[in-house]
Amino acid sequence: MRLPVAIAAVAVSAALLTSGVAVAEPVQQPAPPSRDFGNGPDRNEEAAGAGERASALRAAPGEDFRRRPGHDQGYPRRNTLPVPAENPADAAIKLGLVPYHGIAAKLNDLQRRSDRVSAEITGRSHNGHDLYLVTVTAPESRGEAREQDRIRERIENDPAGAARDRKLVKKYKAPVFFNGNIHGNEWEGTDAVLRVIEELATSTDPRTAALLGRTRLYFNVTANPDGRIAGTRQNGAGFDLNRDFITASQPEVRAMRQIMIDTQPVAMLDLHGYVNGTLVEPTTPPHGANYEYDLFITNAYPNGLGIEAAILALGYTPEADGVFPPQIPFRDSAEGWDDWPPIFTPQYAPFQGAVASHTIEFPMRVNGSDYTNRPVEELRRRSAINVDIAAAAVRATYAFVDSRHDRIIADQIEVFRRGAAGEPAKEVPLGIVPGFGPEDVYTTTYPRAYVIPAGNAQRSATAAARLVDHLVANDVRVERAKLPFRAGGKTYPAGSYVVDMRQPKRGLANVMLEPGQDISPRVDAMYDISGWSHALLWGATVDTVTSGSLHVLGVPVSAAAPTGSVPDGRGPLALAVRDAKEVRAVNDLLSQGVEAVWADGAVVVPAGARGAARTVADRYGVAFTKARSGDGVPLTAVRVAAAVSADELFTLRELGFAVTPVSTAVLNAGFDWSGTDVLVVSSGLSYAALDPQARAALDAFLASGGVVTRGGTGAAFNAAAGLLTATSVAGRGDANGVVRVTNGDGQVAGDAPAHAFVYSPRWFTGLGPEVTVEQSYAAGDPLVSGHWRPNPDGTGGQDAAAGQAAVVSGRDERGAAVVLFGTEPLFRNHPKGLFPQVARALYWSAAVTGSPVTTR
């Protein structure tokens, strides 16, 4: 049954057990579930200073897992893992849990002791720590392993044939994926996984041998070594990895993604803490519209019930242990724990074939203030309970998969079969599992294809190439047309890319490329972001071909075609700044000291820089054009001081800007402004909280330096520092999604995409004569997809934002060039097509600040 109330009701409903009979006496109110006490509307505030931990970008290993030498082997593989140096500061030690440096030795030992265990390195974390994948299965010869690979490929690539082959499921070992510790300060998933691996490795029970003859169990022992060691939720770059799956900005996420592509699990668990009683998905509505939800819920719900039973069988009680009974949001709550955005591991896994996937939140909190303040014995008592519960969830899941081995594999095959056949989305019958009601029904309409055009119809060939590469990295099939073709009433040139939606992983293609839905009317409150769209936010033109025939002579794409070019001739060269890669190319040139000018949204370099231009054109895939003249405002490498969130710092550095993180504390400690051209403020810097000396130093900087701000913190800074004449108006704090925008003719937005991303949107009114509107929210209801309701008093809604200025620029009376963003152009490194707006703000601000105010 479902309680007709939101969020907090999940906890109360812990008293409503599997029988569905209400227990007379409600248990004491445990903590309300929040997905790990994560990001509220003020998500960026706490991240101030987090950026200081972020180190320089590293090359990302782990991309070639599938092609690594030695992948074509049997089992066991017996790789001896390098053992890291002992780190006495590892945060797991206090809890009596295994420190990161202890994992490799344990796995090496288990590989020595058992022929069922194989450990591999799938990549490295941001901070350079090895990521371990353990496969537990009965020994396989190389030939047997190859046969398993062939079956896996057939399930994906010939699902109709695989469905007809009755022997196939019998021969196939069901793959199951267990992900430990993706949030670094939710440690016990790792320890539970190690316990289960050891049990399976050493058990003499014939049932274990039989299990391992029918399954392959994959364990990502710690998905986040950086966070495990440091005791942080995020990785070393300050990213929440469990928000990164549609972006894959972090190496740990790319490694997990590749594991799921390569192993194609039928079921997966993501092991988290802390919610008491233990939270076991499936989720409340809204449900992701691109899942084959009938196949999913009929596996995920019974597995959830089995996990619940296994946890209850451990015998922990509220009275004796402080452990409340498990809760299943799908059953026990109306809203507030949804599976709408595929940014979470278990919400991404179904697109790679999982028909049961679950977040598990074990109950006993040991992080945050508990970690600091509780006695060590109490922390260890709690951690031990969490390990027990997480291990029970893992055992219940592999037992569940084993118990319905043939059917669960058949259900995965059916997911891919429907996709490859291009069948319409199936409406899930009400009551397909108990409690599945109209509120659970979410569907989409799959188009016939998406076309990413070549030629003049493409906004940015560079952005198109990045999007194609991203789709391919997700195992979405893309073809490149060898000849012109017609689709949806248009003619497309050769070289255009086509995503034919008749493909096994069409759900993943669609969830990234469709515009999404405005779900504000259907849902009161969402857990995290509600709107995203690679087609609308990544800077490339993507056409939707809704129906009709599709005849394209194409070749499968494994990597997008090169896009870099430099025109022949002798004159100066222009590079329009319309894509993140153009920003990188410009910053590369500037850091080499190439002479350059800023000229209305483009950077112009002299003829003498032609060789350097060729190099960056090749390196970043950017296309230079002939410049009409070499005129413009001189531009040198922009030195940025930034009080920003970790994701923004990462993105600014990724774009090639030299960034010094600052904060109120850093400025109050005495900051040398002589190396700064532009200050960026979105988080962790309050003008009002600066002491007199720091304020005087900042004011002196503002006489000759530019400012770019975002959000409430940025707007407050603008007001307090007396920069632009503008009143910042806050939209509802939890509003987020993709919005339609109209670009003005300023230096920043220019020909930016017609969509932007917002989270806690803002707009600007009462603009002074010095202020230019760079970008406005579209008239009408600007939200394309996401969740944006007005506040209870009617303010802060889409209608209030419609037509209002979303991004403004201007020169203040001291001459500083200032840009204020009410949108979120760098959000979690996701909206790639919006990054150039920030870069252009920085270039413009750096170039014109200090010049006469008439030069806008």
Element (DSSP H or E) covering residue 390: helix 376-403
Alpha helices in 544-636 (DSSP H): 580-591, 610-620
What would the two tokens of residue 87 be?
């780190």
Residues with Cβ within 8 Å of 214's Cβ and at least 6 positions away in sequence, in order, are: 173, 174, 402, 405
What is the residue-wise DSSP string for 328-384?
A: -HHHH-SSSSEE-STTSHHHHGGGGT-SEEEEEEES---STHHHHHS-HHHHHHHHH
Residues with Cβ within 8 Å of 282's Cβ and at least 6 positions away in sequence, in order, are: 296, 297, 300, 301, 304, 328, 329, 330, 339, 358
**Which of these ranges, 30-38, 66-74, 784-792, 817-825, lies near Zn ion under the rule CB under 5 A?**
30-38
What count of other Cβ atoms lies within 10 Å of the Cβ of residue 399?
A: 16
Does position 186 interact with Zn ion (CB under 5 A)? The reply is: yes
CA gap 287, 299 in Å, rounded: 15
Element (DSSP H or E) covering residue 736: strand 736-743
- When the beta carbons of 187 and 717 are compared against Zn ion, the nearer one is 187
Sketch the per residue contact string, 217 through 256, with Zn ion: x for CB under 5 A, - otherwise. ----------------------------------------
- Largest CA-CA distance found in the chain, in angstroms, rounded: 86
- When the beta carbons of 328 and 729 are compared against Zn ion, the nearer one is 328
- When the beta carbons of 240 and 388 are compared against Zn ion, the nearer one is 240
CB of 687 to Zn ion, least distance (A): 35
Q: Distance from first CA to last CA of the chain, Å, rounded? A: 62
Q: Total residues at the site for Zn ion (CB under 5 A)?
A: 4
CB of 714 to Zn ion, least distance (A): 29
CA gap 126, 120 in Å, rounded: 18
CB of 395 to Zn ion, least distance (A): 21
Residue identified by tokens 């003619």 is 491
- When the beta carbons of 275 and 428 are compared against Zn ion, the nearer one is 275
CA gap 63, 65 in Å, rounded: 6
- When the beta carbons of 342 and 705 are compared against Zn ion, the nearer one is 342
CB of 298 to Zn ion, least distance (A): 26
- When the beta carbons of 188 and 812 are compared against Zn ion, the nearer one is 188
- When the beta carbons of 232 and 264 are compared against Zn ion, the nearer one is 232
- When the beta carbons of 243 and 740 are compared against Zn ion, the nearer one is 243
CA gap 252, 130 in Å, rounded: 10
**Which of these ranges, 169-177, 181-189, 206-214, 400-408, lies near Zn ion under the rule CB under 5 A?**
181-189
- When the beta carbons of 269 and 841 are compared against Zn ion, the nearer one is 269
- When the beta carbons of 184 and 507 are compared against Zn ion, the nearer one is 184
CB of 272 to Zn ion, least distance (A): 3
CA gap 227, 36 in Å, rounded: 14
CB of 278 to Zn ion, least distance (A): 13
Question: What's the angle, vertex CA 704, arms to CA 698 and CA 707, rounded to 5?
Answer: 65
- When the beta carbons of 241 and 536 are compared against Zn ion, the nearer one is 241
- Which 640-679 positions form the footprint of Zn ion (CB under 5 A)? none
CB of 366 to Zn ion, least distance (A): 13
CB of 753 to Zn ion, least distance (A): 32
Distances from the Cα of 633 to the Cαs of 312, 675, 704, in angstroms? 70, 20, 16
Q: Are 386 and 180 in contact (CB under 8 A)?
A: no
- Which 746-765 positions form the footprint of Zn ion (CB under 5 A)? none
Does position 459 interact with Zn ion (CB under 5 A)? The reply is: no
- When the beta carbons of 183 and 732 are compared against Zn ion, the nearer one is 183
**Which of these ranges, 124-132, 272-280, 423-431, 642-650, lies near Zn ion under the rule CB under 5 A?**
272-280
- When the beta carbons of 273 and 711 are compared against Zn ion, the nearer one is 273
**Which of these ranges, 268-276, 279-287, 625-633, 643-651, lies near Zn ion under the rule CB under 5 A?**
268-276
CB of 344 to Zn ion, least distance (A): 9
CB of 535 to Zn ion, least distance (A): 29
**Which of these ranges, 265-273, 307-315, 773-781, 823-831, lies near Zn ion under the rule CB under 5 A?**
265-273
Distances from the Cα of 593 to the Cαs of 587, 602, 625, 629, 845, in angstroms? 10, 17, 20, 20, 19
CB of 3 to Zn ion, least distance (A): 24
- When the beta carbons of 343 and 846 are compared against Zn ion, the nearer one is 343
Output DSSP code: residue 558: S
568: burial class by Cβ within 10 Å (0-12, 13-18, 19+)?
Answer: exposed
Closest-CA residue to 814 (of 786, 853, 788)? 853
Q: Are 534 and 461 in contact (CB under 8 A)?
A: no
**Which of these ranges, 185-193, 362-370, 671-679, 806-814, lies near Zn ion under the rule CB under 5 A?**
185-193
Residue identified by tokens 């894959």 is 248
**Which of these ranges, 33-41, 61-69, 446-454, 618-626, lies near Zn ion under the rule CB under 5 A?**
33-41
- When the beta carbons of 175 and 184 are compared against Zn ion, the nearer one is 184
**Which of these ranges, 186-194, 375-383, 407-415, 589-597, lies near Zn ion under the rule CB under 5 A?**
186-194
What is the residue-wise DSSP string for 820-851?
A: EESS-TTGGG--GGGHHHHHHHHHHHHHHTTS
CB of 450 to Zn ion, least distance (A): 33
Candidates 116, 126, 129, 183; binder of Zn ion (CB under 5 A) is: 183
Does position 188 interact with Zn ion (CB under 5 A)? The reply is: no
CA gap 789, 808 in Å, rounded: 24
Reduce the DSSP state of residue 270 to 3 states and report it: strand
- When the beta carbons of 121 and 255 are compared against Zn ion, the nearer one is 255
Element (DSSP H or E) covering residue 10: helix 9-12
**Which of these ranges, 138-146, 270-278, 385-393, 498-506, lies near Zn ion under the rule CB under 5 A?**
270-278
**Which of these ranges, 59-67, 180-188, 214-222, 714-722, lies near Zn ion under the rule CB under 5 A?**
180-188
**Which of these ranges, 41-49, 67-75, 205-213, 271-279, lies near Zn ion under the rule CB under 5 A?**
271-279
CB of 266 to Zn ion, least distance (A): 23
Element (DSSP H or E) covering residue 712: helix 711-721
- When the beta carbons of 36 and 308 are compared against Zn ion, the nearer one is 36
CB of 359 to Zn ion, least distance (A): 8
CB of 183 to Zn ion, least distance (A): 3
CB of 137 to Zn ion, least distance (A): 28
Question: What's the angle, vertex CA 352, arms to CA 347 and CA 353, rounded to 5?
Answer: 95
Closest-CA residue to 824 (of 731, 746, 745)? 731
Does position 272 interact with Zn ion (CB under 5 A)? The reply is: yes
**Which of these ranges, 175-183, 505-513, 620-628, 748-756, lies near Zn ion under the rule CB under 5 A?**
175-183
Residues with Cβ within 8 Å of 315's Cβ and at least 6 positions away in sequence, in order, are: none
Residue identified by tokens 């812990």 is 14
Candidates 10, 15, 33, 36; binder of Zn ion (CB under 5 A) is: 36
CB of 322 to Zn ion, least distance (A): 20
Q: Are 853 and 815 in contact (CB under 8 A)?
A: yes
Residues lying near Zn ion in the complex (CB under 5 A) are found at 36, 183, 186, 272
